[in-house]
Amino acid sequence: MTLPLPTERAGTLAHRTHHLADGREAVFFSDRGTPPVEHIVDQRPLDARSGGGEVRFDRLTGEWVAVAAHRQTRTHLPPADQCPLCPTTGGRESEIPAEDFDVVVLENRFPSLGPGLDELPDPGQVGERSLWGAPSPAYGRCEVVVFTPEHQGSFASLPPERARTVVEAWARRTEALSAMNGIRHVFPFENRGEQIGVTLHHPHGQIYAYPYPAPHAARLAARSRAHLAGTGRALMGEVLADETAAGDRMVLAGEHFSAFVPYAARWPLEVHLLPHRQVPDLAALTGAERDELAVLYQDLVRRVDRLYATPTPYIAAWHQSPVSTADREAGWLHLQLTSPRRAEDKLKFLAGSEAAMGAFINDVTAEQTAARLREAAR
């Protein structure tokens, strides 16, 4: 099966790659019509980058587990005047050595994966038992996506042109990271709210480039491949068609994207946003699709924030296909936005059934959640 190619080279937003004092890359993206940041100098006396963590193979589950003990000293909820993601101004140096910027993607100073890049051993070829007691370097890449120079706010509060620049950054970095040696899966995401576990308040997201398909992505990819082989149809496309026909779980629809609460939602607040056209990742979207995605995604997160009097914590996870050809042919890009907030003053915690068995028990029906999100439109 050959996926349709975009009819245009998407995006006309400028970007430039610079380097921080310890050698990490920082890619500056400019809003449409704004000139790129041509020159920066990071004058901080940073130590050379230290070695990364390790990954260990779990023989019981067949999954890799990353161990990042070196991250224990990472920055944790600093006051605003010490935020490392704000611009460098007034003699205060930050991770971003510029007085102003639009969007910046930089290598994480405390990465769970990387900075080394290489292939992990294949358990099927070397034998799973041979991997026991012999951790492998945690190859890969971890990046921070800084949405704005403003310390306050969220993705929902960004100007429309800035939201479009963030979408472009996700797409460009997905393309670049997918081409790196040993990378098998690229995962952009945003954690919002202390209840989720964020360590910095500044509006930002992250991108993990794994040296293996992450477990959930691997399971979804396997089902998608099997469904395509058995029916000739893409699994997620079939789900989208069925949800559209049912209608009662649909939240919004545009020319290129639709959002719905999945029939078997696991979380009290869960919604999926996906393109009408089968594409494996953000990099494969056309310029018109990226334009609409920026608008509809902001619409969606604003609805989520209108559900309660205070901002709702959430995880916004971009499910992209692993980089293998078979997975890209069967996969379908989609956003999964979830929140543990089940009431104004109550959170759902992953207790025994969910945390130990992976068997979710939801407190709210998908139809109820979809109705509330439809009502939250303004």
Question: Could you list the active site residues?
Answer: 204
Quote the tokens at residue 270.
């869960």
Count helices and strands (H / E) in the chain.
8, 16
In this structure, the chain runs to a length of: 378
Distance, in Å, from the CA atom of 173 to the CA atom of 145, rounded to the nearest integer, reads 10
**Whole-number Å distance between alpha carbons of 45 and 19:** 14
Structure tokens at 359: 């068997």
The token pair that represents 259 in the structure block:
């959002």
Q: Is 188 left (phi over 0), alpha (psi -120 to 50) or beta?
A: beta
Taking the CB of residue 114, how many other CB atoms lie within 10 A of it? 23
| β-bridge mates for residue 113, sequence order | none
Q: DSSP 3-state helix, strand, coil percentages of the chain (rounded to 5)?
A: 30, 20, 50
Q: Whole-angstrom Cα distance, residue 277 to residue 190? A: 24
